[in-house]
Amino acid sequence: MNVTVRLFAAFRERAGSSEISLALQAGATMSDVIALVGQRVPSLGPLLAAARPVVNKEFVAISHVVTGADELALLPPVSGGQSRFWLTEEVLDAREVERLVEHPSCGAVVTFIGTVRDHSEGRVVDYLEYEAYPGMAEAKMAEIGDEIREKFRLDGVAMVHRLGRCAIGDASIVISVASPHRAAAFEACHYAINRVKDIVPIWKREVWKDGAVWIGMHA
């Protein structure tokens, strides 16, 4: 099916057009739409993690299934808005992520920090390298955010993943969630990191003194 996606403000300027036409498979979701827009306009990739998907003038989750008759739009954050799902090659700051989810109504903020360890399967690891599929990776991170927000009734979710070279002890991912209740917050973080490993297109390369391997590609 063919659809048209409307773009506004910074998205429109970066794309050089107020609309983008896409060919989608039946059953495609707004997550697929965001990923395809990122492929069509690579310069939009870093911004799309903050996109708010709209279908027929209503905000929807990125898991929303679209049809050929729908009016689609991707909205940038309003003034003062900030992406809560992003990739970076900079050193991660857990407090920066936590500040995005803190709220007076929440009695618990739980943060998971994944760090680079110095060994794996009996080998001494020198460092790790991470590579991602930009645009799609952020969209899938946001999809997980929507999922755990609903599943665990959270008030806030934020997530950032490191790319490039990571030294031993560096944080490679930070996930923060806010909830009125601590049990839900702990469960949500545990669930979220497993979902990241399942569906987010980010790859890890372990580097040793005498070789290297992409994890999952042992052959």
Residue ranges of the domains in the chain?
Answer: 2-75, 85-214
Average pLDDT of the chain is 89
CATH class of 85-214: alpha beta
- The CA-atom distances, in angstroms, between 146 and each of 20, 103, 120, 158, 171 are 25, 18, 32, 10, 23
Query: How sure is the predictor about 110, in pLDDT bands with cuts at 50, 70 and 90?
Result: very high
> What average pLDDT does the segment 45-57 reach?
81
Nearest CA to 160 out of 114, 199, 205, 128 is that of 114
| 60-75 pLDDT per residue, tens | 877 889 999 999 999 8
Query: How sure is the predictor about 218, in pLDDT bands with cuts at 50, 70 and 90?
Result: very low
The answer on pLDDT for 80 being more than 80 is no
| 187-209 pLDDT per residue, tens | 999 999 999 999 999 999 999 98
Distance CA 153, CA 39 (A): 33
Confidence (pLDDT) at 19: 95
Question: Domain spanning 2-75 has what CATH number?
Answer: 3.10.20.30
Residue 99 token pair? 């500040």
| 135-185 pLDDT per residue, tens | 889 889 988 998 998 899 998 899 999 999 999 999 999 999 999 999 999
Same fold, 2-75 and 85-214: no
